Structure 1
């Protein structure tokens, strides 16, 4: 987005992004996302909200809102999709294995509320 300030054009610069996954029950979702990220949340900024901080200033928020739950989607990049698939299977997260898609390979997951999590890699 750009705006004109006086005679200069100003382009807005965003410094990070947090993708949001909306869930029904945080107590049920937290163990699933702990398995996905292989660690505890990095932050609990307020009641009903968990955050995992990723590289490059990005992250994922898991937010409890039963009225909106189950309609979220996030795509996460992976540098070793096969290893991630094995790790996720060992952690109890079900998936159909890596598959071709979008000029790369992807691994489709679904959290307990039906939110889509796609790992994209080679």
Structure 2
């Protein structure tokens, strides 16, 4: 799956009162789906941890060494056996009910490695898998 590029008008006759924002430009040219990959050393060993973390079986299995969870509409996190790159992923997903999610994950036997609170009340809860990949949840102030 590649990025779809949509041509933007280039005519000098097109007048805009203001230049397009970066966000509007990104909306025009970027695909609407996101896949965040997490390389793991041993797929079979990593799979149970991720099933507990996400609270269920993968949404789909593309092949024998890859599992994909849909974490929001058209937003996916996947693990793939890739020992050379394992342990280097940084994934952050913002959620509505951070405390509820953290409690649910704890009930499934996984505790956060760290919890950070930033100026303005934004919180980041960091989890690490056996390879050291950082899978985090974030939330805004209550």
Deviation string for 1:39-75 (max 9, x for gaps)? 1001111121100012231100101011111001100
What residue is the counterpart of 2:19 in the other structure?
A: none
Runs of 4+ in 1 over 3 A off after TM superposition: 1-8, 96-99
Quick check: 1:110 aligned with 2:134? no
CA distance in 1, matches of 2:8, 2:106: 53
Q: Which runs of 5+ in 2 are unaligned?
A: 12-24
CA RMSD of aligned residues (A): 2.5
Paired positions, count? 121
Q: CA deviation at 1:20?
A: 0.4
Q: CA deviation at 1:102?
A: 6.3
- Structure 1 range deviating more: 86-95 or 65-74: 86-95
Where does 1:1-122 land on structure 2 (aligned, <5 Å)?
Answer: 11-96=28-113, 98-101=115-118, 103=120, 104-122=122-140
TM-score by length of 2: 0.74
CA distance in 2, matches of 1:101, 1:89: 22
CA distance in 2, matches of 1:44, 1:34: 13
Q: Please say which structure displays the higher CA radius of gyration.
A: 2
Q: Which runs of 5+ in 1 are unaligned?
A: none
TM-score by length of 1: 0.85
Kept in 2, the 8 Å contact 1:110–1:116? The answer is yes
Structure having greater relative contact order (Cα 8 Å, sep ≥ 6): 1
CA distance in 2, matches of 1:49, 1:69: 13
